[in-house]
Amino acid sequence: MDYFSKKKAEILEELDVNPKKGLSESEVISRQEKYGFNQLRETKKKTLFMMFMDQFKDFLVIILIIAAAVSIIVGIIEGEGLVDGLIILAIVILNAILGVNQEQKANNALAALKKMSSPSAKVIRDGKTIEVSSEQLTVGDIVLLETGDYVAADIRLLESTNLKTDESSLTGESTPVSKDAEIDLGEKTVLAERENSVYMSTLVTYGKGKGIVTNIGMETEIGKIATMLDAVEEGKTPLQKTIDEFAKVLGIIIIIISVFVFALGFVQNHFEFELDLFLTSVALAVAAIPEGLTAVITVVLALGMQRMVKRNAIIKNLSTVETLGQATVICSDKTGTLTQNQMTVRRVFDLDQEYEVTGSGYETKGKLLVSGKETKPTHNLEKILQISLLCNDSKIESENKILGDPTEGALLVLSAKGGYEVNNPEEKYPQLNEYTFDSTRKMMSSINKIDDNYYVLTKGATDQLIKKCNRVSINGEVREINDLDIKMILNQNEVYSKQAYRVLGFAYRQTDTPKAMDLENDLIFVGMVAMIDPPREEAKDAIAKCHKAGIRVMMITGDYLTTAKAIAGELNILQEGGIALSGEETKNMTDKEFEEAILKCDVFARSTPSDKIKIVEVLQKNGEVVAMTGDGVNDSPALKQAEIGVAMGITGTEVSKEASNMILTDDNFTSIVSAVEEGRTIYSNIRKFTVFLVSCNIGEILLILMSMVFSFLFVGPNGESLLPLGAIHLLWINLMTDSFPAFALGMEKAEPNIMDQKPRDTKEKLLNKETLIKVIIQGSGLMFAGLTAFYLGLKVLAGATVEQAITMAFLTVVFGELFRAFSARSETKFLFQYNPLSNKFLNYSVFISVGLVLALIYIPFTAKIFSLEYLTIPELLISMALGFVPMLFAEMTKVVNKSL
């Protein structure tokens, strides 16, 4: 119900409350039974079991489970294949455990960021003022508010004295909003302009007030946003979609090849069914599956998550790491994300000259410069600094925190930069009287004793303050103010306002009656200051990197259009040909007009939560991968809708952190750029080891297939057709030989030009034309080397047994894979163009794999299990030499790649 548009008396009557006595205890209980407690409904958390089951939804994992099941069934029937099936199943379960472990780590890190206490509220009940927890508030409660209080429900004000609230987390408004209980509003007044109401999650920064609770829990403005969050469904990430597509294609290929092999053998056996032939087809299907791929992808993404933690980003799920690398648009909130959320004085005009104020935020080490140089302070500047210091109720707690109104905090910092001691100034300059700020006068005055004289020190809106001045100080001379002076002052005020600065004027006078209450007249105007919530210094470079990387940055804020354009211009977000829009301008647009506008829009101001979701949906509809940054409750639905929701860890609300995929622990926009680079590197590495693993599987398939096609070349002593490798050999190669180098390839450092490339096409597949050619060529090289070794062992080398021929083929394939891994380190550079031994992880993995395979062959117990036999030195050297053939084929693909 829109209580902001109703009269106070009407609301009190409707809710049946006496504002002086408040609710009775019995009324509180009955209303809590009717309306419930003042709580937001929490989303149901995933249990460990649910997280575990989620790991089995990928198509590739499903194929592995089917392969394992078939192998186990065949193993039970025939006594062979049981070990193969159990090993595959163990890999799948281990992969699931690893994925759950990483999600749990992210959830624990998120929990550590949550605040441990909930805010309380001061209420009038049974005529007494008491403090209750926010959960106990109910509709009709009379709440008292003062500076520093968190607003615990939606409240219609009944009384207000100079009340201001910080609504940045809810509306995106960067400066505190003045509130007035006496204002009447229309039903269509937007949230950011409802001056007679305060809302849950906002903060009282100044003044005091009294109001009646009109909405609690899910009925509050925050509750409505929480409801929108529930309605947003999370889709699969681009990586999940890519791997699913890849797995489906692979599954179809596996079925076709297995059926073809069975059909070929069936024809060769004169159409007689043999169980061995069926088992061979099953073995080939198992060989075709890159069993290690899911585990390698999971581990590489997990390591990426750990690296991101060191770079101040908590990633909540594995695939988000890679998805960041595909981002084409970053929709960023302004307040606290691109800006410092710290009001800062940038310009001081003392009616003679303009000063540039260096230093940003609440740092007190800046300077006041004229034309880039320090200069002696004028009389007017000294007065402006004195007024900034003494007509001020804020305090500096640290370089990052101000107690009190941010505008007054900025003035306190200005006086510190001008050389004044800002701690306990009243000891040196005692305050005798004060006129607090109110929205009618739009000014504030403090009467202080300075050097045995009493001074009225006043600051306020320039256009209102000038009306109280009859004199002006220019060029060190105090004289009567004239129309030209007023015109000059108001013109300068307008210049600053058009640049999105918040402008305050300054004036003073001496008095002999400091306790009087009519001293805000006959003032001497001395100048004005211009302040703004400045951009983060590092954000400009980060945005430039985004543009270089082909990523569009779009500002979406609840702040005013003028302010948004000024900040966007300073950060180079507003590009040539780009437009800036406000929510008011798009209200009456058709869906088509809105879509056309958003595709050209760089800045969108005065946005609502529904605007943000609509913008993200339009971008996604047009093929963009969207990263949405934000820290406020108002950002949360869009954070959830975007492929990558990025919340702020320090200033971010708990709702925004819950809705996001990624949390920046330092609230630094540059961490997003680091994450994008990390994501691109990870995808590049995933592509490298996927080509490496799949080409090995293709090579194994071709090896078995060609040995059957040319079976007359591979005949045993008893005239039987022989296969170069069995299922157990193929499984060893897939798991023990390929997986270690694949892990190492996943640890490759970023290519030097990775952030100079445009984001990859969202439709790009892991197995596209380019990678398919690589896979076939490299697989053919592996097949050629393996068949050659098998043939030499069977027909050429004197004294070699069938087991030794199989061992030669097996060892050749193993060496071929290990040597080829060094070529796989780069997709474009040849081996002689980089140091092939610079990846220490790859060196270690090759060394371990060689050691394991030699142990397998030369330890009698393991050799017997795998039907292998030790090789002579010449046989070993031949196998090793043939192992270089696949590496040469891999280098050949780089020539083909450059010609495509």
352 given a catalytic annotation: no
Closest C-alpha among 252, 319, 247 to residue 290: 247
Judge whether 333 and 119 are in contact, CB under 8 Å. Answer: no
- Alpha helices by DSSP H, listed for 153-237, are 168-171, 221-231
**Structure tokens, 896:** 């083909």
> Which amino acid is located at 554 in the chain?
M
**Structure tokens, 636:** 């949360």
Provide the CB-side half-sphere exposure for 80 (13 A, CA).
14
How far apart CA 348 and CA 343 sit, in angstroms, is 14
Burial 123-159 (b: 16+ CB within 10 A, else e): bbbeeeeeebebbbbbbbbbbbbebebebbbbbbbbe
How far apart CA 748 and CA 685 sit, in angstroms, is 7
Closest C-alpha among 580, 539, 547 to residue 563: 580
Between the CA of residue 493 and those of 344, 468, 490, what are the distances in Å?
A: 17, 16, 5
Judge whether 375 and 214 are in contact, CB under 8 Å. Answer: no
Instruction: Measure CA of the first residue to CA of the last residue in the chain; give whole Å.
Output: 64
How far apart CA 198 and CA 164 sit, in angstroms, is 9
> Which amino acid is located at 739 in the chain?
S
Closest C-alpha among 61, 12, 633 to residue 292: 61
Handedness of CA 238, 240, 241, 243 (dihedral sign): positive
The DSSP secondary-structure symbol of 632 reads S
Judge whether 669 and 540 are in contact, CB under 8 Å. Answer: no
- The CA-CA-CA angle for residues 385, 389, 391, to 5°, reads 110
How far apart CA 743 and CA 751 sit, in angstroms, is 17
Closest C-alpha among 37, 362, 57 to residue 218: 37
Strands (E), 254-405: 313-315, 329-332, 344-349, 354-357, 368-370, 373-374, 395-398, 401-403
Q: In which region does residue 798 sit, left (phi positive, over 0), alpha (psi from -120 to 50) or beta (all else)?
A: beta
Judge whether 170 and 188 are in contact, CB under 8 Å. Answer: no
Residue tagged active-site, from 333, 611, 635, 667: 333
> Which amino acid is located at 653 in the chain?
T
> Hey, what's the torsion of the CAs at 300, 305, 310, 315, to 10 degrees?
170
Judge whether 656 and 672 are in contact, CB under 8 Å. Answer: no
Longest pairwise C-alpha distance within the chain: 125
The DSSP secondary-structure symbol of 232 reads P
Catalytic residues: 333
